[in-house]
Amino acid sequence: MSEQVVPTPWETKRFGGNALLLRNAIWRGLRAAHQRALAAHTGLKLESNDGYGLIWLVQHEEVGHAIEAVVPELRRIKPARARYELNVVGEDSIILYPWKFADDAHTPVTNAKMTMSKLRESLLALTQAKSDSQLSFDHAELTEEELDAEFEDDETFLDDAIEAGRLVLIAYAANPRAGILRVFWGEASQADDRGRLSWSEIEQIPAPPEDEQTPVQTGPTPVPEPKTGTGPRWHQSTPPPEFDLAPRPPLTAPDGGQPPVPQPETSSDA
């Protein structure tokens, strides 16, 4: 199977010479996040995938570690009260935002809906407008000092986001049984209040080999040295054991002798 080994025009425009490094690093980071989420899923022993759903807590961290190993210019910004940091790369300071959009290999990424939050709305917009300082019901029980701190945090984060100027979504599908299934990246904005996105650019990132980080032995294969010692000679060896041979009973099928019933062909969703 042929594999794309050159960046696309959009990837080159956005990331320059780091495009291929970022593609592979994103896959490595998501695979590492999958392993951590799988450990939570296995440890909780739930019939549902709620434990695996915690992948959102570690995806930014693991993708950041993988990118930092190949693109040292990575920097991080932390949204107010968020439990993770956002990764920013490139001379244009592009925010990379992982988003698990499906748990199967069939859902079209362009049809997936994003659960919206204030942070995601701000990232998808990335407008030059300052944060809205209008009070809401959520602020009713906050002190004046807490209100000032919250608005200051929001404005500081939006200033960082505005400085970055662009968001690239990393949309991926994954589940605890099959791991990371597909990965896309592109640029989108919020299309409606139901979470549907409007993609201006969307491209699939080809998966690198699973063992790409496995050390490969170089050089000639060492030849084992001949064994030494004084083992028994052929005429001193123990004679072979005798076997009590007897006729075998007629062969029977696993179902007790009934002929097997032809089974219809099936396919797997994995």
Whether 112 maps to a domain, the answer reads: yes
Sign of torsion, CA 66 209 8 200?
negative
Q: In this structure, are residues 52 and 176 in contact, taking their beta carbons and an 8 Å threshold? A: yes
Q: Average pLDDT, stretch 86-108?
A: 92
What is the reported pLDDT for 100? 97
Q: Which residue has the higher pLDDT, 265 or 95?
A: 95
At 124, the pLDDT band (50, 70, 90 cuts) reads: confident
- Whole-model pTM: value is 0.65
Whether 195 maps to a domain, the answer reads: yes
Strand order in the sheet with 86-89: 75-77, 86-89, 94-102, 166-175, 179-190, 197-204
Whether 209 maps to a domain, the answer reads: no
Tell me: pLDDT of 63 over 70: yes
* Spatial separation of the C-alpha atoms in residues 64 and 245, rounded to whole Å: 67
* Spatial separation of the C-alpha atoms in residues 196 and 112, rounded to whole Å: 7
**Largest CA-CA distance found in the chain, in angstroms, rounded:** 99
Whether 236 maps to a domain, the answer reads: no
Lowest mean pLDDT among 33-47, 80-94, 111-125, 204-218: 204-218
Whether 266 maps to a domain, the answer reads: no
Percent of residues, the chain, with pLDDT higher than 70: 61
Range of the domain at 194: 9-131+151-204
Whether 245 maps to a domain, the answer reads: no
DSSP category for residue 230:
-
Q: Average pLDDT, stretch 192-197?
A: 88
Tell me: pLDDT of 238 over 50: yes
Helix runs in 19-78, H state only: 19-44, 55-68
Whether 51 maps to a domain, the answer reads: yes
Whether 95 maps to a domain, the answer reads: yes
The number of domains in the chain is 1
What is the reported pLDDT for 215? 34
Residue 231 amino acid letter: G
Reported as type and span, the H/E element at residue 9 is helix 9-15
Q: Which residue has the higher pLDDT, 39 or 211?
A: 39
